[in-house]
Amino acid sequence: MALFFATSLFAAEVAITIDDFDLHTEPLLNRTQRDEGVLRALEKHKVQAALFLCCKYLSIPESKARIPYWEKAGHLIGNHTLSHYFYDGKGFEIFSKDLKFCHDMIKDSPAFAPLFRFPFLKGGKTKEQRDSIQAYLKNLGYKNGYVTIDASDWYVSSRLEDALKKNPKTDLKPYRDYYLNHMWKKSVFYDEMGKKYWKAPVKHTVLIHHNLLNALFLDDLIQMYKDKKWNVIRASEAFADPLYSQIPDVLPHGESVLWMLAHAAKDKTLRYPGEDADYEKKEMDKLGL
């Protein structure tokens, strides 16, 4: 019993955070089926997630009609801008107005949480860019909806969708297996980074997207964490941790918050960007995925 208690006490913890809400109708699943797949997995495992909503998708009636299901289930809804602009390219004036448009669209939702996540995890190339948007967020009452475990699920999903468009009978299992292996490698990598640079148990936030891949395999992802003896915690619990109040003094600003802490500590092994399609393409090409 004592051994079990000690293992549980120090088990890694992770919350599920989901970006965008881009409910495509093709291939394989329609918008409603896609969203039902994600919500069904969360309900099965009794997981409270954080949805970082890109508000332009609310212009699609079928997508907007799904939001009450997230509210009723007790998930969090955070701000991911209206247009999914790349902040480093648009600059403060355009970006802050876009952010505010989304804020005004979601602030009265019972699920609204004052959490902001930068599209592409890019928070400014210059000190002026970084500090101006951080001051703006603080004035609106937001804190950063940081990622600790960055990943490229969106790229794996895009490859799966392309394959299904070419062949609707594509075997899904190799994509599932690649996805779970990818997410586990990223989880271990960033957990080790957290142990080195945060030096306290990290309440992780894993980055995934509302896409076909997760409509199909989010259940498997959550079960994977459980099988690996990680505790899947509520998103509200994770974001209450002091880690998410940090604003690391690094440029460019963005990527995983743990990546930024490592960058601030002059870690010479970091790559930039932290994660991207190019890092997965070679292996997926080799596997014929």
The per-residue DSSP string of 211-246 comes to SHHHHHHHHHHHHHHHHTT-EE--HHHHHTSGGGG-
pLDDT at position 17: 99
Per-residue pLDDT of the chain (289 residues; tens, 9 = 90+): 444 333 445 789 999 999 999 998 789 999 999 999 999 999 999 999 999 999 999 999 999 999 999 999 999 999 999 999 999 999 999 999 999 999 999 999 999 999 999 999 999 999 999 999 999 999 999 999 999 999 999 999 999 999 999 999 999 999 999 999 999 999 999 999 999 999 899 999 999 999 999 999 999 999 999 999 999 999 999 999 999 999 999 999 999 999 999 999 999 999 999 999 999 999 999 999 9
Instruction: Give the residue from 242, 230, 243 showing the smallest Cα distance to 186.
Output: 230
SS3 string, 105-164, reads HHCCCCCEEEEECCHHHECCCCHHHHHHHHHHHHHHCCEECCCCECCCHHHHHHHHHHHH
CB under 8 Å to 173, separation ≥6 — which residues? Answer: none
Spell out the domains of the chain, with CATH numbers in brackets: 19-287 (3.20.20.370)
CB under 8 Å to 185, separation ≥6 — which residues? Answer: none
CB-CB contact of 130 with 123 (8 Å): yes
Whole-model pTM: value is: 0.96
pLDDT tens-digit readout, 221-280: 999 999 999 999 999 999 999 999 999 999 999 999 999 999 999 999 999 999 999 999
Residue 112 pairs with which residues in a beta bridge?
77
pLDDT at position 34: 96
Written as six digits, the tokens of 151 are: 């990943």
